[in-house]
Structure 1
Amino acid sequence: MKNLWIVILTITLISCNQQKKEENQTTSTDSKSIPVEPDGGIGDGGLSIENVYVQSIEKAHKKDEFLKHKAISFNANILFGGKEHLNGKITMLTNSTKIRIDKHDESKLIYNGEKVFLCPENANEKGARFDMFTWTYFFGLPYKLSDPGTKWELQNPRSLDDTEHQTARLTFEKGTGDAPDDWYVLYSDTQNVLQAAAYIVSFGSNGDTSKAEADPHAIRYKDFKMIDGIPFATKWEFYGWTQEKGMTEKLGEATITDITFLEEEGTIFDTPDNAKEITL
């Protein structure tokens, strides 16, 4: 059972390679359209097992259909330690390049693709960077797995709710984003749906990740609902996490509601008059 997932992925890989060889007998193939390993991959140009894993998750989460929409919004009520951390509406382009958060206290955070603005000018900017980029990354994680700079290592299955899930470790090339020292350990089920991810937060560590490495956390995705044929987790749970034990004590939770696709961004990400630019 421990190697069941790897066996399944290997069989899938062999099937994909055989189909590709058959297609090459009758049609020409543009090799640039399919990512392959530098050494030609397994089976002379076949996808690596890691790429098969990533693409299986993207397919299960309907990445192509998701990206056909311009933007998406959702309400998020996030609690940590029994206290409300964030309650508001989050709007983002599906490619994550612009973000807006409208909090219930009437303050706003806007990322226009280049700069971050806080509105009104006297609003509390503590934790602005965390709120701006963390929740949208967790929401959009299934669609970010093959972003430039991502590196993958398939790992052994791990138990989650007494059921083994295939896991893989995601790291980043140097210079990727503003926290390239972050890492994730993803859990996917037999349908290739992302069920959880362990992670560290290294932002602000100035290269010393020892504190972050000593305190990994994990997000658990639950209560999936179909919106326009795409599965979204409507409940998130946050836990401590260790390599040996997996998830430990529960730290917080989030409820995600009113998930809505938008086909035009309009003026949503424009900067209000009473806003100030903040440095994150």
Structure 2
Amino acid sequence: MKKIIFLIGILILFSCKENKSEERIPVEPDNGIGDGAGPPPALSFSENIEEAHNKVAFMTHEAISFEIKLKFGEKTQLDARISIMTNSTGVRVDKADGTSIIYDEKTSVITPASAKTEGARFDLFTWQYFFAMPFKLTDPGTVWEVQEKRKLDSLEYNTAKLSFEAGTGDSPDDWYIIYQDPETGRIKAAAYIVTFSKEQAKAEENPHAIVFSDYEMIENVAISTKWSFHNWNETDGLGEKLGEAEITDIKFFVPEENYFKTPENSRIINK
């Protein structure tokens, strides 16, 4: 009888250990019951940022547009109005020189057809992504890795690395290290590499960072209106300032039917 009781005790002990082990690894937020564990840390990081910027309000609108003046050194890199479908199905860049670059979910074109295409695809996808980044952190194909705290201007920030599954977007080998402002929960900065037209290893030799500041509330959505660009490395963080951008005249709008469609007198732009 004592042996039986002893065996039962051992079985109960192992059963408790197994249950505790399972509780540490929820397969879905709150263990699927809504009142238990929180979501996995990496998911929580990205969702918290989206919430701080009010992604829900952002996505209630069809499209948003803004003026951008981008300078590197004394040179104006871009002076344009950029329009974006909030669900990422359309992008339009109308430059001050009369050139327009348009993405309609399938095709990227430039108009007029005689316009120079050098750098056009980069301008079409890069700047709109920086603008919309706080609302795209949990898009399909995003991969998150929570990392250690990092310093930025002597202050510590929670950080996580954002990368992408193969086949995601125009440059799936890009990655970003996102800095979250501990007071507001918003994005403070993002270190990044640009693999556009180059190998990832080569791009990683020269990482940069964008710092977001001067947030404004546009119909209850938090949007940064000043960006600065810097050299960046893992040891020292921000380095020399390289450029800056001013974002103005931000408006949500309902686009006309053909606003993001391929116009006449245009040609396709490829990588």
TM-score exceeds 0.5:
yes
Answering whether residue 208 of structure 2 is matched by residue 197 of structure 1, we say: no
TM superposition shift of 1:177: 2.3
Alignment partner of 1:257 out of 239, 248, 251: 248
The RMSD of aligned alpha carbons is 1.7
- TM-score, length-normalised on structure 2? 0.85
Give the Cα–Cα distance (whole angstroms) in 2 for the partners of residues 169 and 272 of structure 1.
38
Give the Cα–Cα distance (whole angstroms) in 2 for the partners of residues 226 and 129 of structure 1.
30
Alignment partner of 2:208 out of 203, 211, 217: 217
| Contact residue 121 and residue 269 of structure 2 kept, 8 A | no
| Contact residue 180 and residue 187 of structure 2 kept, 8 A | yes
Give the Cα–Cα distance (whole angstroms) in 1 for the partners of residues 110 and 61 of structure 2.
26
Q: What's the secondary structure of 2:79's corresponding residue? A: strand
| Contact residue 96 and residue 136 of structure 1 kept, 8 A | no
Q: What's the secondary structure of 1:101's corresponding residue? A: strand
TM superposition shift of 1:43: 6.9
| Contact residue 110 and residue 118 of structure 1 kept, 8 A | yes
TM superposition shift of 1:175: 2.4
Give the Cα–Cα distance (whole angstroms) in 1 for the partners of residues 240 and 130 of structure 2.
20
Question: Which of 158-167 and 100-109 deviates more?
Answer: 158-167
Question: Which of 165-174 and 213-222 deviates more?
Answer: 165-174
Q: What's the secondary structure of 2:92's corresponding residue? A: strand
Q: Counterparts of 1:1-280 in structure 2 under 5 Å?
A: 40=27, 44-45=31-32, 46=37, 47-190=39-182, 191-205=184-198, 208-280=199-271
Paired positions, count: 242
Q: What's the secondary structure of 2:58's corresponding residue? A: helix
- What does the per-residue CA deviation read over 1:65-91, in whole Å, with 9 as the maximum and x for residues that have no partner? 101000000000011122001101001
Return structure 1 stretches of 4+ with deviation > 6 angstroms: none
> Which amino acid is 2:73 matched to?
G
TM superposition shift of 1:40: 2.1
| Contact residue 218 and residue 238 of structure 1 kept, 8 A | yes
TM superposition shift of 1:266: 3.0
Change beyond 3 A, Cα 1:94–1:44: closer
| Contact residue 90 and residue 101 of structure 1 kept, 8 A | yes
Q: Structure 2: give runs of 5+ residues left out of the alignment.
A: 1-23
- What does the per-residue CA deviation read over 1:47-81, in whole Å, with 9 as the maximum and x for residues that have no partner? 10111111110100100110100000000001112
Give the Cα–Cα distance (whole angstroms) in 2 for the partners of residues 92 and 41 of structure 1.
32
Q: Structure 1: give runs of 5+ residues left out of the alignment.
A: 1-36
Give the Cα–Cα distance (whole angstroms) in 2 for the partners of residues 272 and 202 of structure 1.
29
| Contact residue 77 and residue 256 of structure 1 kept, 8 A | yes
Q: What's the secondary structure of 1:146's corresponding residue? A: coil
TM superposition shift of 1:119: 0.9
Q: Quick one: percent identity of the two aligned structures?
A: 45
